[in-house]
């Protein structure tokens, strides 16, 4: 088993990170490799994937990272993706189901194709990934799965119909997976980011008014950084989280700690 030294406690572990070429996924790839794991980066941004592999192998050693093209909403591509990890590294200890897309639209205006696309990338992908990874982890005697859900799956947001549905389902699916596979020594947890500065949210946050209004609602008064999600993923993927499974953890600057009611002492002029 890997040592618990802070810099190398994932040594010997092999991870697969979907959507690993951007934002939270890329930060997770770097965090896991920084702690000794070897990582298969999966995604659809092939040039970015190749560039990351070159850079990470130059910095951390030959073969510490590889890239596989996989559209995670397509069952056959996910099967090939998991097979590629086994072929390359001979094992799979950590699966991070991170790939995802956002989408606005109220129900009457939402095309069925939009709904299916969001559910396909954000939810079906987790089923597909787990379907092929769990038998491999079982054969090895265990593993850790981390699903990147969202606070929009813990409660709902305006105009986020399909996204909220996909992330809410991802959360309860995480619990179901955790129950079914605890006896296989496979732990399954979900991380629920709040608003994090990544390419997904760049356009939203580019408007100063949005950034200000949004930050004002967050107790820590700012958006998060991808690295702040990646550190929790790394912890959940490691033996330090050995008694955690089925947990749904917000990383949101305190946003979901708030009911949404106004600051009454402030409104009443008491403070
Ligand atoms: N950024 C936020 O504020 C935020 C908040 C809550 C949850 N999340 C979740 O975090 C995860 C990562 O988001 P991010 O902010 O880093 O976004 P991002 O756009 O920077 O990264 C998403 C990644 O998923 C990949 N991807 C998209 N469709 C794919 C497909 N069909 N197959 C394979 N890969 C695909 C993209 O190429 C990209 O690499 C998503 O699941 C997202 O829903 C993000």
Q: Three-state DSSP class for 102?
A: coil
Q: Among all residues, which ones are annotated catalytic?
A: 163
> Can you tell me the distance from the alpha carbon of 30 to that of 138, in angstroms, rounded to the nearest whole number?
26
Output the CA 233–ligand 1 centroid distance in Å.
15
Q: Which residues pair with 145 in a beta bridge?
A: 95, 188
> Can you tell me the distance from the alpha carbon of 265 to that of 43, in angstroms, rounded to the nearest whole number?
49
pLDDT mean over 249-254? 98
Phi/psi at 21 (nearest 5 deg)?
Answer: -100, 0
Output the CA 263–ligand 1 centroid distance in Å.
33
Domains with residue ranges and CATH for the chain: 14-267 (3.40.50.720)
pLDDT by residue (tens digit) across 177-230? 999 999 999 999 999 999 999 999 998 899 988 899 999 999 999 999 999 999
- Share of residues in the chain with pLDDT > 90 (%): 92
**Is there an atom of ligand 1 within 6 Å of 43 CB?**
yes
pLDDT by residue (tens digit) across 51-77? 999 999 999 999 999 999 999 999 999
- Share of residues in the chain with pLDDT > 70 (%): 97
Mean pLDDT for all residues in the chain: 96
Please state whether 97 falls in left (phi above 0), alpha (psi between -120 and 50) or beta. beta
pLDDT by residue (tens digit) across 1-51? 344 455 578 999 999 999 999 999 999 999 999 999 999 999 999 999 999
CB distance 121 to 99 below 8 Å: yes
**Is there an atom of ligand 1 within 6 Å of 193 CB?**
yes
Task: Give the pLDDT confidence score for residue 9 in this predicted structure.
Answer: 86
> Can you tell me the distance from the alpha carbon of 146 to that of 126, in angstroms, rounded to the nearest whole number?
10
**Is there an atom of ligand 1 within 6 Å of 24 CB?**
yes
**Is there an atom of ligand 1 within 6 Å of 233 CB?**
no
């Amino acid at each position: 088993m890997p040592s618990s030294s802070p810099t190398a406690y994932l040594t010997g572990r092999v991870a697969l990170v979907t959507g690993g070429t951007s934002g939270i996924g890329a930060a997770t790839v770097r965090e896991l490799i920084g702690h000794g794991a070897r990582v298969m980066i999966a995604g659809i941004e092939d040039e970015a994937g190749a560039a990351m592999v070159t850079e990470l192998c130059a910095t951390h050693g030959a073969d510490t990272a590889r890239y596989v093209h996989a559209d995670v909403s397509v069952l056959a591509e996910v099967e090939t993706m998991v097979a590629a990890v086994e072929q390359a590294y001979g094992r799979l200890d950590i699966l991070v189901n991170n790939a995802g897309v956002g989408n606005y639209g109220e129900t009457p205006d939402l095309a069925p194709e939009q709904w299916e696309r969001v559910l396909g990338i954000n939810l079906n992908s987790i089923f597909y990934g787990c379907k092929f990874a769990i038998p491999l982890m079982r054969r090895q005697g265990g593993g850790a799965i981390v699903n990147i859900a969202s606070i929009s799956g813990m409660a709902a947001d305006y105009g986020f119909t399909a996204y909220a549905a996909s992330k809410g389902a991802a959360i309860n699916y995480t619990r179901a997976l955790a129950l079914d596979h605890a006896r296989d020594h496979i732990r399954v947890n979900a991380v629920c980011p709040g608003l994090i500065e990544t390419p997904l949210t760049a356009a939203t946050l580019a408007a100063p008014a949005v950034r200000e209004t949004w930050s004002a609602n967050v107790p820590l008064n700012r958006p998060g950084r991808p690295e702040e999600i990646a550190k929790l993923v790394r912890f959940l993927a490691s033996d330090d989280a050995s008694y955690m499974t089925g947990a749904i953890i917000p990383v949101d600057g305190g946003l979901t700690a708030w009911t949404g009611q106004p600051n009454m002492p402030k409104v009443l002029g008491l403070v």
